[in-house]
Structure 1
Amino acid sequence: MKLAFIILSLVGLAAAQDTPLPAKDKFHLFLLVGQSNMAGRGTVEQQDKTPHPRVLMLSKEGTWVPAVDPMHFDKPAVGVGLGKTFGQIIAEANPGVTIGLIPCAVGGSHIDAWQPGVFYAPTKSHPWDDMAKRAAIALKSGTLKGILWHQGEGDSLPDLAPAYEPKLHDLVVRLRKELNAPEVPFIAGQMGKFDGVPWTPEKVIVDQAHQDLAKKVPHTAFVSAEELKHKGDKVHFDSASFRELGKRYAEAFLKMTGK
């Protein structure tokens, strides 16, 4: 019985590793970084478990597999996020390519956690270093086309918010340098603006940094979260809103690039 289980496990691993990949220039990669609203906390439904034939994701083990939710693996609460919907829309807009999503978000992480060598205790991980390793694996097979960022709640505090904007600009520069992609599109999403959940002054400061990004840093864009809903916790989007947010990210990318 134990031997049969081992054999089945090995067969499953081989299948994951043998996912056919297109030529490198036809495999368009997108890095998914930030905190929990990038990782996704929505309830997984059947549509979220149904893969698109030309949308893959880099698994926790570093292999290319069909993209389904949950895509991230930062915390046990992980669920539906924006990445799968984004990938599907970009794939449909580009029939000749395959989309590769690189999930690297870390729930709760402050922007300061996204620095080389920084250990983030709540998830016992190194957000930047882990991202760099996963991106290096992915870039062996494909071409980076965009970076999607959703983060800011962790920095909406009196002692952190005033310094957020320069840190965000620095992050864009460092990511592009790390990935050897000086002009790669960088898209930042808005934190949840939920009915009945007033924003603190610090959240307004962080939001303004997101909204002003495209005016101050080349090849960047901002995605609104207006009229989206939370899952009941007043922090995380619900599943339908995550899918809508993925659509908005895709629309922003297609507007930036025309493809």
Structure 2
Amino acid sequence: MIRPLICLLALFVTVFAAAEDASLPAKDKFHLFLLVGQSNMAGRGVVEAQDVVVNPRVLMLSKEGKWVPAVDPMHFDKAAAGVGLGKTFGQIIAEANPGVTIGLIPCAVGGSPIDTWKPGVFYPATKSHPWDDMVKRVELALPAGTIKGILWHQGESDSQAGLAETYAGKLSDLVKRLRELVKAPEVPFIAGQMGVFDEAPWSPEKVLVDKAHRDLPKEVPHTAFVTAEGLNHKGDKVHFDAAAYRELGKRYAAAFLKMTK
């Protein structure tokens, strides 16, 4: 009975928050972060009370294109959207930078292969154009703030024969195109590791995709890799649970702070 009540509270807070535009700081004090990838970036964790606590210096771009207080679920790609890593990441970065406000731009699309993150590509599973939809949100967000980082979590959909072998090159190309989009050639790009679960041994193809993530900092300047070792899944052997997403957010934040200290 408690969990449904928490979910109802989360829905109420989200609707209430979305009803009001947040007051924005000066552009140089509004630090923007792009959240891109598939379902483990969007988040599939069960929403709890802590996930709807508002921090006035952590905002998100809503589905409607408004800057509102960040609460989970931040994404809206599928009905299953829940707790992700973004909110925790934003809170930590805000704490480390007392004079700024953090703006999170949720753009992840559950199940999307890396090939769907190209101009004009339609993704039937969500009836969307992942890249083109992201571009619209970025163009809406950038006039208000300053881009500071790109967070990427994706790879499960490419962990199959015929796709994994070419993933590394596509990832490097994606980083280049994203940086061109946000007009910041050296903006930090952080890639997170796919779930490492004892109950779900990796295929050779998944090992290849993981290697591309791990090797990215050696191949592309101003990038980082975040491990998912020791984190639990939500029971489906694919998606992290809520606690794991929060921990993953901490690891992304630690990587970003190390890159920019």
Q: TM-score, normalised by structure 2?
A: 0.93
Bigger radius of gyration:
1
Question: Which amino acid in 1 is paired with 2:164?
Answer: A
| From 182, 186, 191, the counterpart of 1:183 | 186
Q: Residues 142-165 of structure 1, C-alpha deviation per residue, up to 9 Å, x if partnerless?
A: 000000000000000011000000
**TM-fit CA distance, 1:17:** 5.0
- Native 8 Å contact 1:16 1:63 kept in 2: no
1:8: which partner in 2?
Answer: none
1:18: which partner in 2?
Answer: 21
* Partner-residue secondary structure (3-state), 2:224: strand
Q: Does residue 151 of structure 1 match 2:154?
A: yes
1:45: which partner in 2?
Answer: 48
* Partner-residue secondary structure (3-state), 2:102: strand
- Native 8 Å contact 1:29 1:146 kept in 2: yes
2:239: which partner in 1?
Answer: 236
**TM-fit CA distance, 1:18:** 3.3
Provide the rounded CA distance (Å) in 2 between the counterparts of 1:202 and 1:37. 18
Provide the rounded CA distance (Å) in 2 between the counterparts of 1:79 and 1:95. 28
Question: Residues 122-137 of structure 1 correspond to what in structure 2 (within 5 A)?
Answer: 122-137=125-140
Provide the rounded CA distance (Å) in 2 between the counterparts of 1:29 and 1:220. 17
Identity %: 77
* Partner-residue secondary structure (3-state), 1:221: strand
Provide the rounded CA distance (Å) in 1 between the counterparts of 2:16 and 2:200. 45
1:81: which partner in 2?
Answer: 84
Question: Which amino acid in 2 is paired with 1:191?
Answer: M
Q: TM-score, normalised by structure 1?
A: 0.94
Question: Which amino acid in 2 is paired with 1:162?
Answer: E
**TM-fit CA distance, 1:44:** 0.2
Provide the rounded CA distance (Å) in 2 between the counterparts of 1:26 and 1:167. 33
Provide the rounded CA distance (Å) in 2 between the counterparts of 1:255 and 1:234. 30
Q: Residues 208-232 of structure 1, C-alpha deviation per residue, up to 9 Å, x if partnerless?
A: 0000000110000000000000000
* Partner-residue secondary structure (3-state), 1:187: strand
Provide the rounded CA distance (Å) in 1 between the counterparts of 2:199 and 2:124. 32
- Native 8 Å contact 2:93 2:102 kept in 1: yes
**TM-fit CA distance, 1:175:** 0.5
2:64: which partner in 1?
Answer: 61
Provide the rounded CA distance (Å) in 2 between the counterparts of 1:87 and 1:114. 24
| From 33, 39, 49, the counterpart of 1:30 | 33
Aligned residues: 247
2:165: which partner in 1?
Answer: 162
2:97: which partner in 1?
Answer: 94
Provide the rounded CA distance (Å) in 1 between the counterparts of 2:60 and 2:110. 19
**TM-fit CA distance, 1:67:** 0.1
Root-mean-square deviation (Å): 1.3
Unaligned runs of 5+ residues in structure 2 are 1-14
* Partner-residue secondary structure (3-state), 1:122: coil
Unaligned runs of 5+ residues in structure 1 are 1-11
Provide the rounded CA distance (Å) in 2 between the counterparts of 1:124 and 1:28. 31
2:200: which partner in 1?
Answer: 197
Question: Which moves more between the two structures, 44-53 or 84-93?
Answer: 44-53
**TM-fit CA distance, 1:16:** 4.0
Question: Residues 203-242 of structure 1 correspond to what in structure 2 (within 5 A)?
Answer: 203-242=206-245
| From 246, 253, 258, the counterpart of 2:256 | 253
